[in-house]
Amino acid sequence: MFQTFRVLASAVSPVVLLPASAEYFHIFGALMIIIFLRKSGLLEDVQYDTIHTAHHAKSLDQKKNVLLHSSEPNFSVGFCQEMDFCIFETKNKYLLHLSAGFDSGLLLLLAKERSTLEPKKKRDGKSRGEKNRSVTEDKSLISRSRISQQNILPPLIGALKASAEKNAASFHFPGHNRGRAAPSSLTQLIGVRPFIHDLPELPELDNLFSPEGPILDAQMQAAKLFGSSETWFLVGGTTCGIQAAIMATCSPGEQSFSLAIHIYQPYLLWSYLEQYQSTYCLRMIVNGILLAVSLHHRYHSFLSVGKAIKELQMDGKKPAAVFITSPTYHGICSDLSDISQLCHAYGIPVIVDEAHGAHLGFHPQMPHSALKQGADLVVQSTHKVLCSLTQSSMLHMSGSIVDRERICRCLQTLQSTSPSYLLLASLDAARAQLGENPGTVFNKALELASEATTIIKTIPGISVLDLSSFNEFPAIDPLRLTLGFWSLGLSGYEADDILDRDHGVISELVGTQSITFAINLGTCREHTQRLVSGLKKLSMSFLHSKTTEMRVESREHAPFNDICISLNPRDAFFANKRSVSIKESLGKVCGELICPYPPGIPVIIPGEVITEKALNYLLDVRKKGAVITGASDSHLSSIVICDV
């Protein structure tokens, strides 16, 4: 068996072949192989890369799920139902993956790519397999980081790893006790390792609200990479960061106004609850996409911000902050540089919701980041285009207008007192991943996006959203691809259903007449080719359909210019309310926030007079498949109004 392993050691994935019968026996047999290889020095300095899947075992029944522990220190085997791999964990945390291919009669033991499988004394050399290894063009762009010979890890990753490896008698939270009592239904899905590293605020792991150790180091390295004076890690998503930014810059009753292409629910709800006053944004539709733009101008611009500031000055007021969302969900960027200079001339801080732009500025073909353009507070969803875990974000500060101590106090008020160290560590890991090759890491993703866009523009009946549709704006994210289907007589929801059902293509955002696709570091050519193929078949099926011309609707460009605010949104939020039929609601004061989701841009907000145009739009998008959020009746047979 050992000789078999040595013969295959130069392959990308070394393999040990075992019969499929008597599964338990051979799991133990595989365990013994690993122990032997480790003691012989053959598992030293193993470095890992992308997983290569063998067989997918779905024939396991509930009785064959096992979790084994050997007498070797910190050595365990997880064997899970309907999983490709079992995880073998050695003291040095080297991973091997077990795939049970019972249908083919083989039990395969796979290792990820490594730098060497030579004995310890030859650890500095490279194997022939590594020197000759070729990487196919279509591999996923997931970063293939190599940990150095000194095993240098990002600060928070290293601290979490060391803490989890302790042979501790644990009498602390969480209740699964380092995975010992982890729910079997979840370990079957993700294994036990996430539970092992799901630790509380132990002394060696630092404190999120008063960092002095690995969290502080991780945040300082993030600040250096992104170009901020200070960076805070967020476990409550970008919503939490936006709320903290508003609290830190605006006192209740002060005038803060929003000039965003998209205004999302978290900002509006928080402004209601905290008594922040805001100038309002009207809504308009361009190419089937609902946008929110400045009330003072049809398009969001440097001039509209200046005009708003002067109008407030005439009323004896000064805005506490300017809040801008850039880029939007569709990748549309605002001219933040001129706006920041203008606001700073008045001593006004600029807050940017850059949830969709954590990657901006890391390639010459990308728009500049908000920090680069002079924004004071920037909140980024690191988990969107970058690679941290969902719900993890960062808040960056630049300049001296904003009080950092106030930011710290606001974050301590808003963030959980039991932060997830898996989320925090994922932020540190995403920063390290990006920092390895910050100028080139997006090369392949941009190449795939450009290739796909070029081909899609030639497909009849498919419209591509680009700067020609928004020539008032300086840039658009090249990794965000928004397509329109109105010329095919299809709504975005209908086109999305077909792409998903027939081609396995899953989009990021679906609208009434468009779909948005997000291209990222994990996108591969096979997937972009599948997207292009699906779009071509859509075009062939519907372009010359007899019903196409009947179903194509005019694309509305006129804004919702009949907006009337009757009550302060906060007063409307807390006012007495009653539910009336949708017909009866016309002309009444809305008592709830109503918006199609995604992306969560309100069509009617509390305190606003309900208009026929807004109602028609809501009914139309619901008919096409949109989910209506915020309304007590998602079917829109009734609406809650203020009883005034």
DSSP-H helix ranges across 168-301: 184-190, 193-196, 214-226, 237-249, 265-273
Per the CB < 8 A criterion, the answer to whether 350 and 321 are in contact is yes
For residues 207 and 177, membership in a common domain is answered with no
Is 562 inside any structural domain?
no
Phi and psi at residue 625, to the nearest 5°? 120, 0
**Range(s) of the domain holding residue 498:** 443-551
- Is the predicted pLDDT of residue 5 greater than 80, yes or no? no
Better-scored residue on pLDDT, 473 or 573 = 573
Task: Give the distance between the most distant pair of CA atoms in the chain.
Answer: 86
- Is the predicted pLDDT of residue 409 greater than 90, yes or no? yes
**28 pLDDT tier (thresholds 50, 70, 90):** low
For residues 61 and 159, membership in a common domain is answered with yes
Per the CB < 8 A criterion, the answer to whether 379 and 354 are in contact is yes
Is 561 inside any structural domain?
no
**Number of other residues whose CB lies within 10 A of the CB of residue 634:** 12
CATH number for position 577: 3.90.100.10
Which uninterrupted H or E stretch holds 353? Answer: strand 350-353
DSSP-H helix ranges across 398-555: 404-414, 421-436, 443-456, 492-503, 525-542, 548-551
**In Å, what is the CA distance from 325 to each residue of 41, 114, 238, 279?**
54, 43, 12, 15
Mean pLDDT is lowest, of 96-100, 233-237, 515-519, 609-613, for 96-100
Residue 11, token pair as written in the block: 């392959």
For residues 80 and 181, membership in a common domain is answered with yes
At 351-401, the pLDDT tens digits run 999 999 999 999 999 999 999 999 999 999 999 999 999 999 999 999 999
Number of domains composing the chain: 4
**340 pLDDT tier (thresholds 50, 70, 90):** very high
How far is the C-alpha of 216 from the C-alpha of 241, rounded, in Å? 18
3-state secondary structure of 381: coil
For residues 506 and 608, membership in a common domain is answered with no
How far is the C-alpha of 206 from the C-alpha of 247, rounded, in Å? 26
Residues above pLDDT 70, as percent of the chain: 65
Residue 130, token pair as written in the block: 């590594």
Residue 123, token pair as written in the block: 């650890």
Q: How confident is the model over 240-251, as a mean pLDDT?
A: 89
**Pairing relation of β-strands 95-101 and 106-111?**
antiparallel
Please report the sign of the dihedral spanned by the C-alpha atoms of residue 18, residue 22, residue 27, residue 28: negative
For residues 526 and 620, membership in a common domain is answered with no
Phi and psi at residue 456, to the nearest 5°? -60, -35
Tell me how far apart the terminal alpha carbons of the chain are, to the nearest angstrom: 83
The pLDDT of residue 32 is 58
- Mean pLDDT, the chain, integer: 75
At 451-460, the pLDDT tens digits run 999 999 999 9
Is 490 inside any structural domain?
yes
Say whether pTM exceeds 0.85. no
For residues 321-349, b (16+ Cβ closer than 10 Å) or e, as one string? bbbbbbbbbbbbbbbbbbbbebbeeeebb
For residues 389 and 455, membership in a common domain is answered with no
Domain end residue (candidates: 436, 461, 486): 436
Phi-psi category of residue 51: left, alpha or beta, with phi > 0 → left and psi -120 to 50 → alpha: beta
At 174-187, the pLDDT tens digits run 999 999 999 999 99
Q: How confident is the model over 217-246, as a mean pLDDT?
A: 96
CATH number for position 338: 3.40.640.10
Residue 614, token pair as written in the block: 């807004």
Contacts (Cβ under 8 Å, ≥6 apart) of 41: 119, 120, 121
For residues 126 and 150, membership in a common domain is answered with yes
For residues 27 and 160, membership in a common domain is answered with yes
How far is the C-alpha of 405 from the C-alpha of 398, rounded, in Å? 14
For residues 428 and 486, membership in a common domain is answered with no
How far is the C-alpha of 388 from the C-alpha of 152, rounded, in Å? 19
The pLDDT of residue 140 is 43
For residues 179 and 305, membership in a common domain is answered with no
Per the CB < 8 A criterion, the answer to whether 232 and 209 are in contact is no
Domain end residue (candidates: 164, 196, 228): 196
**524 pLDDT tier (thresholds 50, 70, 90):** very high
Is 35 inside any structural domain?
yes
At 576-628, the pLDDT tens digits run 999 999 999 999 999 998 888 766 778 888 889 999 988 988 888 888 778 88
**In Å, what is the CA distance from 35 to each residue of 72, 74, 77?**
8, 12, 12
**Pairing relation of β-strands 377-380 and 350-353?**
parallel
**446 pLDDT tier (thresholds 50, 70, 90):** very high
For residues 299 and 284, membership in a common domain is answered with yes
- Is the predicted pLDDT of residue 114 greater than 50, yes or no? no
Mean pLDDT is lowest, of 279-293, 317-331, 335-349, 532-546, for 279-293
For residues 95 and 158, membership in a common domain is answered with yes
Residue 36, token pair as written in the block: 């032997």
Domain end residue (candidates: 142, 170, 196): 196
3-state secondary structure of 517: strand
Better-scored residue on pLDDT, 127 or 339 = 339
Which uninterrupted H or E stretch holds 342? Answer: helix 336-345
**In Å, what is the CA distance from 78 to each residue of 70, 86, 99, 558, 628?**
12, 5, 12, 59, 43
Residue 602, token pair as written in the block: 């309100």
